[in-house]
Amino acid sequence: MSKTIIISNRLPLQINLENEKLEVTPSVGGLATGLKSFHKEGDSIWIGWSGMTVEEIPEHLLEDVKSKAREEDCVAVNLTEDEIEGFYYGFSNRTIWPLFHYFMEFTESDDWYWETYKQVNQKYADEVLKHYQEGDHIWVHDYQLLLVPKMIREQAPDAIIGFFNHIPFPSYEVFRTLPWRDEVLEGVLGADLIGFHTYDYERHFLSSVSRILRHQVDFNEITLPDRIVKVDSFPMGIDYEKFEKAALDHFEKTSENQSELQQRLDHHLKATPDAKLILSLDRLDYTKGIANRLRAFEYFLDKYPEFIEKVRLVMLAVPSRSNVPQYQRLKREIDELVGRINGKFSTVSWTPIWYFYRSMPFENLIDLYTSCDIALLTPIRDGMNLVAKEYVATRTNHTGVLILSEMAGAAHEMNEALIINPNNFDQIASTLKQAFEMPEEEQISRNKMIQKRLKRYSVEKWAQDFMKALRNTEDNRQAFEAIRINSKVYDDLLETYKNAKSRILFLDYDGTLVNFADKPENAQPDEELITVIKKLANQENTEVILISGRDKDTLGRWWEDTPIDLISEHGTWVREKRADWVLSENVKNDWMEAVRPVIENFVDRTPGTFIEEKNYSLAWHYRKADPELGEIRANELSNVLKELISNHGLSVLNGNKVLEIKSSGVNKGKASNKKLRNQDFIFAIGDDWTDEYMFKELPEKAYTVKVGIKQTSARYYVEDTKKVRTILQAFTENG
């Protein structure tokens, strides 16, 4: 039975050494919580670092660490102090972390960090391979393990691998500055499914793949020579019920059962019933915008002095990576800011900032969430920010105001919150005033909408959706049943061709016989191609048919002196050898006047696109448009056209960088079928969806070939037009 293998930097448990005895406690992080149901209820193992270096574990306890992990269906990866320094504190947190969060000035490009990162990634991959069996699903997590998918793929080429990145992915312009950018992208592309929190991060990744590695990107799919990689966004949720229940239980407690923190908070609230508490809760990290938040709070008190003694900022900064210089400097800066602001505004009975630099137990977090009227979260860059979701989940009476930076991934889902630019102090100050004065009815209305969304898309749903999408990639592989024309298939093909008594060849043109050109008129046949086609046409008992979406005038002019049959506009027009063009189907073009203005509107809005008008169809070409904009507009236009032409006997064909509107009763399948007699060798080759009609209509014995690895009904595929010409040249030599 197949299992799920989860790989992350850390295990979902804490292993500590107390008095020569190992203690194991569960982790409370979002990832551990989100995957708990998969890990516990399903057949799965979790691979990661135990949290203790090899040097910290006495030799006689090494096996005990492994045993403790195995009891929790975990596998511990042992790392040395040097490996942690180079891999975790080095490349992960001094190279990738700052770069991916747009702090380029903090990014260090150190060869030793990179070499150690590679070695440790290989350690994780090797551990996976020890436990991997055919049929298993592998899920790799986060920026510490960017190279692992490819390392696994190299040893297990048929493995089903997912990768999820929990931090932002930067724009191409930022990512391209990384010296090892190619290796990092190739490492991630070892996965079948790549997940991000937001569409922005997904888009940035696809852009980098397209521009740096030059792989073909179609919407959210990347075409590699041997497979298709799917990229999608899955916004991570929280364990909503856990936080909601904790908040409800919190309000049931009597004063004797309350924590010391809650008693202090209650005392403050009773002493100053008109005052409001503002919550600031983060890991101490330069990406969280804590220093700017303090300066904005100072600006707020300066601008609106009427709120002095009526608000208090309750700031919890959780220690993080305290041995990294940038974090040490940040700690000093925040200490100084808190001291200065408190010194500037404090009165005998009031201090503007309560500052905690520590970790707090879950109970105290609930105390803060339920007691603070406003949550102020201003990260400069944040992959998701689950604190924002946790705060709203605990507001069981639906009051409270969330002020959230637009730079946090969560802002995309929580637009009922007050969204701010974390660098705009004036906006933050005015938004704090708005939050302070917001009526309860408005607070309740906003929070109910967010809560409904958070409850529906919980962390469990996030994990389920990703795993479902990962399993779908396995199903999609079955759709790619075409076999590459390797040496054996190639030899069999030529032998069958040679021995055939009658042959028919259906050849698509653009993308098959010639590469695509920015302008269609520039893709005319070269002498080499014309020579090959003529040789084939002159072979005994061999019929060559050029079947294309091109207009009849262009196709007829280019192949005027070649003794072959031509089928243009996907089957609308047919020209027998050197005869006149004949309309093969009873089609109309009176619809074109109504549709043309719609397409013209998209031409105006999308630089580099144009309309090609044929006798009975209209084509919108976007090959010269910006790749990302072109795909977005194509998808939009396709939807608009499908709605416009429904019930009119028309269809929209999605070709290679072209959308074509034509009669739905005309296609290459019907056209090719009319040409069949009793030929004992049938060969058809093409590169896009218009050729699928042909592949489906032709008999099973036909050699149907797709150019490029794409979902297809064809039996075989070749990589490119160069391979197509190689096959046709071989036909001329074996006829």
3-class SS of residue 638:
helix
Closest to 76 (Cα-Cα) out of 58, 50, 52, 56: 50
| Reduced 3-state DSSP string for 468-535 | HHHHHHHHHHHHCCCEECCHHHHHHHHHHHHHCCCEEEEECCECCCECCCCCHHHCCCCHHHHHHHHH
Take residue 652 and report the two structure tokens written for it. Answer: 């929209």
Angle between helices 386-393 and 362-371 (to 10 degrees): 70
User: 705 forms bridges with which residues in the sheet?
Assistant: 685, 716
3-class SS of residue 578:
coil
3-class SS of residue 539:
coil
User: 24 forms bridges with which residues in the sheet?
Assistant: 15
Distances (CA, A) of 485 to 54, 174, 489, 723: 50, 40, 5, 9
Long-range pairs for 429-434: beta carbons < 8 A, 24 or more residues apart: 429/296, 429/299, 429/300, 429/303, 429/304, 431/403, 432/278, 432/297, 432/300, 432/311, 432/374, 432/376, 432/403, 433/300, 433/304, 433/307
User: 628 forms bridges with which residues in the sheet?
Assistant: none
Catalytic residues: 508
Identity of residue 255: S
DSSP character for 711? S
Place of tokens 């609930």: 366
Contact assessment for residue 719 and residue 225, using Cβ atoms and an 8 Å cutoff:
yes
3-class SS of residue 326:
helix
Strand duo 658-663 + 681-686: pairing: unpaired
Closest to 618 (Cα-Cα) out of 632, 637, 643: 637
Between CA 415 and CA 412 the distance in angstroms is 6
DSSP character for 78? P
Closest to 709 (Cα-Cα) out of 231, 216, 219: 216
Where does residue 700 rank: exposed (0-12), middle (13-18), buried (19+ CB within 10 A)? exposed
Between CA 699 and CA 140 the distance in angstroms is 43
3-class SS of residue 76:
strand
- Continuous segment of H or E residues that includes residue 544: strand 542-547
Report how many helices (DSSP H) and strands (DSSP E) the chain contains, helices first: 27, 30
